[in-house]
Structure 1
Amino acid sequence: MISYAECSARERLAKLLDPGSFHEWLPPAERVTSPHLAQLGVPYAFDDGVAVGRATLDGHSVFVAAQEGGFMGGGVGEVHGAKLVGLMQRALRDRPAAVLLLAESGGVRLHEANAGLIAVSEVMRALLDVRAAGIPVIVLIGGANGCFGGMGIVARCADHIVMSDVGRLAMSGPEVIESSHGVDEFDSRDRALVWRTTGGKHRWLTGDCDALVEDDVAAFRAAAVAAIDASRPLTLAALEEEHALLSARLHALPPDTAGRDEATLLWSALGFADAQQVPDLSVEAVRALRAIR
């Protein structure tokens, strides 16, 4: 077993894809860097924190992007976002079997706030264009930094989300919530709380991810291969189904949850027995809960 969380972006590409098949566009040797960071005296990276290119996965032609959480938390800036958009636009032209996004990001890079916000919106539009063309977009989430902010929205725009139990997915990160509303609202240092409310097990039980896997590169690869032939058309019926899911979740909790564990309350309200035991269950056992509910 090789830990997905402990790998860098390029290590994930090397171990997840067919051996030797990854061809990178705009590699570090091209030195395409952020035009903003140097002006602010901030270190920059020659790939701007994301590797994009083409490869094969189990013999299928795929386009793939891998965000590097070790550089500015995988934050999206102007160049970073442009590389993702370019990947999506080229997918529309060349029509690979799927587009893979190995997401690890805290969201928009604050050093490039406006440019980053625009970039994320362009990524969302490009991703939806790819989906509308019938090319599945598969997002893999299992890095140490999770998938938050604008990239959390991007992930939920995709056809399929694969998460490990150590992966995290949400709109606002724990530190952002705490800084905005105080530690009484959300204690970002409470690791158990963070994973109960944003982690892979929670997202699986609430229907926000399509596959829950072990923290293992081989498990991510198998789940990605399984999702290649399963695109989900963008239809009004699908959108209404998603809205119904969110509405049911919103109204599932009791009106007063102050001081109580909302994640456990929600799991119980959604029909999962012995909800308080979920954090201690194995990935296999949590996967089985959805089948027997």
Structure 2
Amino acid sequence: MISYAECSARERLAQLLDADSFKEWVPPVERVTSPHLAQLGVPCAFDDGVVIGRATLADRTVFVAAQEGAFMGGGVGEVHGAKLVGLLRRAQRDRPAAVLLLAESGGVRLHEANAGLIAVSEVMRAVLDVRSTGIPVVVLIGGSNGCFGGMGIVARCADHIVMSDVGRLAMSGPEVIEASHGVEEFDSRDRALVWRTTGGKHRWLTGDCDALVEDDVTAFREAAIAALDKAQPLTLDALEKEHDLLVQRLHILPAEDAGGDDATFLWRALGVANAQAVPDLALDAVRALRNQ
């Protein structure tokens, strides 16, 4: 077993895709780097923290992008975002079997905040445009940095989300919440709390991810293959059903003064028996809980 979380972006691609099938676009040798980081005197990466290209998965052509969490936390800047948008626009033209986004990001890169925010909005629009053509967009989340901020929104715009139990997905990251509202609101050092609130098991139980897998590259590969033909309809009816689901979730959540500020209360409200034991359960047991 090879840990997905411990791999770099390029190592994940090498293990996930068919052997020797990946062809990179805008590779490091072209040295397309962020102009904003250079102006600030901040070290650059020659791929700007994201790898994009074409490959095959189970002998089917896919377009892929993998964010490198080791470079600025996978933060999205102008060039980083432009590479993602370019990949998605090319997918509209060339029509691969699917687009895979190996997401690992803390959100927008603060060094180029406005450019990053614009880039994320363009990525979201491009994801929806690709989906509108019937090409599934599959997001894989299992890196140590999680998937937060703008990329958290991008992930929820996709057809299919695959997460490991160590993966995390949310809008605001734990450190951001603590910095904005204080440690009383959210203690980012409480790892158990962080994973109960944003981790793969929680997202599975609440229906925010479509496949929950072990921290294993092979498991991610198998889940990605299974998702190739699972495009979801991008219609007003589908959107309204998702909104209804969110309204129902809001109504069943206990009031804050009743101790409803922890994920275990939501799990109980969703019908999960012995909810406090969920963090210690094996994945097979957690997967079974959503089907009860």
Q: What TM bracket, shorter-length normalisation? A: over 0.9
Correspondence for 2:54: 54
Change over 3 Å in CA distance of 1:29–1:206 after alignment to 2:
same
Offset of residue 259 of structure 1: 5.5
**Partner residue, 2:132:** 132
Separation in structure 2 between the aligned mates of residue 256 and residue 196 of structure 1, nearest angstrom: 17
1:225 is matched with 225
Aligned to 2:256: 256
Structure 2 CA distance, aligned partners of 1:223 and 1:290?
A: 18
Which region of structure 1 is more displaced relative to structure 2, 232-241 or 204-213?
232-241
Letter of the 2:288 partner, please give it.
A
Are 2:205 and 1:205 aligned?
Answer: yes
Written as runs of structure 1 = structure 2, the 5 A alignment for 1:1-293 is 1-257=1-257, 262-292=262-292
Conservation of the 8 A alpha-carbon contact between 2:253 and 2:260? no
Amino acid of the structure 2 residue aligned with 1:73: G
Query: Hey, what's the Cα distance between the residues in 1 that align with 2:101 and 2:258?
Result: 37
- What amino acid does structure 1 have at the position aligned with 2:196? R
Report Cα offsets for 1:41-88 as digits up to 9, x if no partner. 111000000000000001110000000000000000000000000000
Q: Distance in 1 between matches of 2:124 and 2:210?
A: 19
CA distance 1:240–1:39, change in 2 (3 Å):
same
| Deviation of 1:256 (Å) | 3.0
How many angstroms apart in 1 are the aligned matches of 2:272 and 2:130? 35
Pick closer, same or farther for the CA change 1:288–1:64 going to 2, 3 Å.
same
Cα shift readout 1:17-42 (whole Å, capped 9, x = no counterpart): 00000000000000000010011011
Does the C-alpha gap of structure 1 residues 82 and 9 become closer, same or farther in structure 2, counting only changes over 3 Å?
same
* Aligned-residue offset at 1:251: 1.2
Q: Structure 2, unaligned stretches of length 5 or more?
A: none
TM-score for both structures, normalised by structure 1: 0.98
How far did residue 242 of structure 1 move?
A: 0.5
Secondary structure of 1:291 counterpart: coil
Q: Within 1, Cα distance between the matches of 2:185 and 2:229?
A: 42
* Contact kept in structure 1, 2:29 and 2:46, CA below 8 Å: yes
